[in-house]
Structure 1
Amino acid sequence: MLVQDQWPDLDSNADSQMTAAKESELLERYAYLVKRAAAHMRTQTGVVVDMDDIQQIGLVALLSSIRRYGRDADEKFAAFAFKRIRGAMLDEFRRVDWRPRQLRQQSHKLRDMSRSLMRQLGREPTESELCQALNISSDELLELHYITQAEAMDSLESMLEQGMQQTAATDEKLSQTESTLMLQKAMASMPSRNKLLLQLYYTHEMNMKEIALTLELTEARVCQLHKQALDALTRKLQHS
């Protein structure tokens, strides 16, 4: 659990003119963002986490967002806060080893087996073919897809964070704008399927299960396609 001194001091920000009562009001109004981000991240990683811890981290990020926004909450605040809340949760997932070593090893086996079967078959293997080759169940396959997808997500977001730190490090709003422009430029030349998957996840904030229902695909297939889209986007950003 978080300790008390991790909460920002209400009196420490000399530039803030917001009252404690106003902050409490905004925390209550936008608390739904914390629950949404927690569900989003939990589906991404495919693991069971302590939701109390994750939501407390989200609340800290929400309070920080309220103070850093620099003006009264308007129609753009929710998107601003959601990104910061999600980022704080992602940092926590990185801090703790949420991927057991055995699962990481199995995810690497999944990657290698997928490539091997693709060479043999001349096409992407089906879920049943992968399960048979790895001697695992469909539920286990889904969990491995979530692990490999989370690794790709971590790689992409780490690269974006490094770019934001190098560019306009003293102006957070400018660096976020440049990061958004980088993503838009890289996505512009991607296949429509890849763009759709990324837009559903990032723009519409849908989780894998919701995307699967929307596209009438299995959840495992959506995870697989989403990882491929993330890998392609990362490569484009690296060479941009």
Structure 2
Amino acid sequence: MLATAVRNGSTRPAHPASDSRTADDVEAGIIALWQKYGKSHEQVVRDRLVLHYAPLVKYVAGRVGTGLPAHVDVGDLIQSGIFGLVDAIEKFEFERGLKFETYAMQRIRGAILDDLRSQDWVPRSVRSRARDVERALERLGAKLQRTPTDRELAAELKIGLAELRELYAQLQLTSVVALDELIAAGRGGTGAGASLAESLPDNHAEDPVAALVDLDSRRQLADAIAQLAERDRVVVTLYYFENLTLAEIGKVLGVTESRVCQLHTRAVLRLRTKLNEQTD
């Protein structure tokens, strides 16, 4: 048995010697399980090994989950990690005398990351370019003490203006739920923030605490929007607060819908940068 058993019905406090024997018994039980699984590969034996090493999955999932967006459920990471643990058990060669925990943690982490990547519709190269743009915006904003223009940003990135606008079109994939994430970032990135829809006031059941938190989030978002260039500010206001489509915004501004997409992406990137600056 893997679990510690109470012997002879005794309820006396455990002594260090008995604790040592218990640990030795557990270790011996695990070795016996590995030996039995190596010979039979029975599912029931494998499942007992899974139960024993399950805490590894929770540990790895917690480490991987640190820094991920608030909407990522740790429970989903654990579920993915369990598959990695099962795979590790099935492929581990116990007779080689290697430490299983080290091998399993790599497999668990790989399974979790593979699952996260499969859920992300944005190519990693585009994610990387988005981070480059955000860092460039931060550098220029600190240097110029104002929002940089597209031409200044293109020069900082060492690309042409046309290439920057093409990049905006690619990066619009990364900002599908940008304002929801921005509100959470404005609250310090604790994950306690609600989505934009959930933060709208409910006239039938208003919570005073929620109202105060919502007011602070709106203030931070309003301050960040106020610092945007005029055209970016118009796009954000019309799209998120007036619920106009990109085509309708294009008619208001007298530009094409694709140009509005570029302006929207640029505005969201600049908003994210400004809100992150407020929380630093």
TM-score of the superposed pair, with normalisation by structure 2: 0.36
Question: Relative CO higher for 1 or 2, CA cutoff 8 Å, sep ≥ 6?
Answer: 1
Q: In terms of Rg, which structure is larger?
A: 2
When normalised by structure 1's length, the TM-score is: 0.41
